Amino acid sequence: MNANLYAVLSSRFPKDARAPCMILPDGRAWTYADVDQASARIAHLLVALGLKPGDRVAAQVEKTPEALVLYLATLRAGMVFLPLNPAYQRHEIDYFLKDAEPGLFVCRPQNRALADELALQAGVPHVLVLDDAGQGSLIEAATPFADDFASVPRKGDDLAAILYTSGTTGRSKGAMLSHRNLAHNATVLHAYWQFKSGDVLLHMLPIFHVHGLFIACHCALLNGSAMLFEPKFDARRAVKLLPQATVFMGVPTYYVRLLGEPDFTRAVCGQVRLFVSGSAPLLRETFEEFRERVGHTILERYGMTEGGMFSSNPYAGERRGGTVGFPLPGMQIRVTDAAGQSLPNGEVGQILVKGENVFMGYWRMPDKTKEEFTAEGFFKTGDMGRFDADGYLSIVGRSKDLIISGGLNVYPKEIEEVIDALPGVAESAVIGLPHPDFGEAVQAVVVRRKDAAGAALSESAIIQALKGELANFKIPKRVFLVDDLPRNTMGKVQKNLLRDQFS
């Protein structure tokens, strides 16, 4: 049997290929036949460019049907997809291209000059363009090819995607996800969340990370469902479209903003059977207010880039606010002490996970991979949590200083390195502080050098200098200028004290 993820997904496409797959804001629809044929043409193009199975395809483009089709085409051709946030700037793109060495980089037209420059430096042989309307040299080059393509045979442990993530030290790490990892998680979630005939997914998530690309799209594609495929989240637009949907997936920020819409009522949600929240902790107040307002209990789940979803509140049973539910079928989750011994219910410890969906390791980082897995094959998530007496898992914090802002991961070390390189900066510490909309907001605490350049530093100047280097969601909302940073006896900066001081 071909374990190629596209073969798995397409085996569940509707028998009538004219059924809608993506319904666009202007009312146009991409049918399942359209998706199959367009992905075939792009798969042929990838082969014609000389890419081989296992080669990487990097894409830094906006959310369009063509962007999703590019991902599916990469799978079909047996290649490895590397989605990049469109907000990434030179500093980040340069690293990803040099580290992953893709055979093709697909970019937006406004970034073509930068893409050509960085691709040349990184030895990337091909650069093509896909614009925000789904047009460009990628589509033009693919148009002449045949609209059928036999998916390249893949084994379950063959690589399907690399998604970059990081701890709080060092540079980003490429999490390697296999065809089996992704297929297993998709089929488990499809069953656990009880997808059924006639379901329609309101898709407002970005498709450059796990939540929007894998969790949402895979569930819909496995179900042969239509997606109301919106370019981004807009609360007013969501209120208008929810009456046509049965499933909605979002980050906590989306639910906060929906509650801010006066027209968001029980009647609007009359057809919806499931609201799912993830990518960041959902505040208990939001959970309760949502239930009181529209009569729906949000289903919160837990996962990360390194394996998709690990746990979920039940579909049919009690969804307990402040928890992320039970281990998904096939998943083992342990809460342990520092020595790796399992702790009794109620005690907080480090969360370890093991299952078919847990990633293969970090791209070209065998030592780091070995460090992050136990001898028994459990992955150390870096999160701290506890099980209650009924087996519900709660996430209580992170052992690392990862910041999650609006559902997006922000890694302080990366920002600190850029700030520290600015003239007049002696050192910096980046922290996350509570924010009513984003969950956490990025803040920087900066020590000035005792010279003219240091004296000239200001909050606005630092923020402005970062804007050309880092994605907008990583730019600090505030910069606090101080004389020194608090340290412990080992010389380590005590970020907990900084969070207390500036919150």
pLDDT single digits (tens) 226-244: 999 999 999 999 999 999 9
Query: Which of the listed residues 119, 138, 154 is the one where a domain comes to its end?
Result: 154
Domain assignment present for 474: yes
Q: Residues 401-450: pLDDT tens digits?
A: 778 888 887 877 778 889 988 999 988 999 999 888 888 899 999 999 88
SS3 417: helix
Q: Assess whether pLDDT exceeds 50 at residue 364.
A: yes
Residue 285 lies in a domain: no
Q: What pLDDT score was predicted for residue 411? A: 72
Query: What is the structure's pLDDT at 299?
Result: 98
Which of 99, 119, 154 is where one domain is finished? 154
Q: Examine the pLDDT at 170 and tell me if it is beyond 90.
A: no
Q: Is 26 among the domain residues?
A: yes
- Give the other-Cβ count within 10 Å of 489's Cβ: 5
d(CA 411, CA 403): 6
Query: What's the pLDDT band for 169 if we cut at 50, 70, 90?
Result: very low
CATH of the domain at 454: 3.30.300.30
Angle between helices 284-294 and 252-259 (to 10 degrees): 50
pLDDT band at 491 (very low <50, low <70, confident <90, very high): low
Among 267-271, 280-284, 435-439, the range scoring the smallest mean pLDDT is: 280-284
Q: Would 228 be classed as within a structural domain? A: no
**Residue 30 — very low, low, confident or very high, per pLDDT cuts 50/70/90?**
very high
User: What's the predicted TM-score (pTM) here?
Assistant: 0.85
**Number of other residues whose CB lies within 10 A of the CB of residue 296:** 16
Q: What percent of the chain has pLDDT over 70?
A: 97
Which residues have CB under 8 Å from 335's CB, separation 6+?
342, 343, 347, 348, 349, 350, 351, 352, 385, 386, 387, 393
Mean pLDDT over 314-321 rounds to: 96
Tally the domains of the chain.
2
In this prediction, residue 488 carries a pLDDT of 63
pLDDT for 1 beyond 70: yes
pLDDT of amino acid 496? 82
CA 61 to chain centre: 15
What residue numbers bound the domain in which 66 lies?
5-154
The reply to whether 9 falls in a domain is yes
Q: Is residue 150 part of a domain?
A: yes
Q: Is residue 314 part of a domain?
A: no
What's residue 410's pLDDT? 81
Please report which confidence band the pLDDT of residue 397 belongs to, taking 50, 70 and 90 as the band edges: low
| Res. 213: pLDDT tops 80 | yes
Predicted pLDDT at 283: 79
Residue type, 144: P
pLDDT at 35 over 80: yes
Q: Which amino acid is residue 403, in one-letter code? A: I
Mean predicted confidence (pLDDT) in 8-17: 98
At 15 the pLDDT is 97
Task: Give yes or no for residue 249 having a pLDDT over 80.
Answer: yes
The whole-number pLDDT of residue 465 equals 94
Pick from 434, 431, 467, 461: nearest CA to 448? 461
Q: Is 70 exceeded by the pLDDT of residue 167?
A: no
Binned at pLDDT 50, 70 and 90, residue 186 comes out as very high
Show which of 119, 154, 189 is a domain's final residue.
154
The pLDDT tens digits of the residues spanning 75-107 come to: 999 999 999 999 899 999 999 999 999 999 999
pLDDT of residue 336: 96
Q: What gap in Å lies between CA 45 and CA 142, rounded to an integer? A: 5
User: Is 472 within the bounds of a domain?
Assistant: yes
- SS3 of residue 378 by DSSP: coil
CATH label of the domain that carries residue 73: 3.40.50.12780
Mean pLDDT of the chain: 94
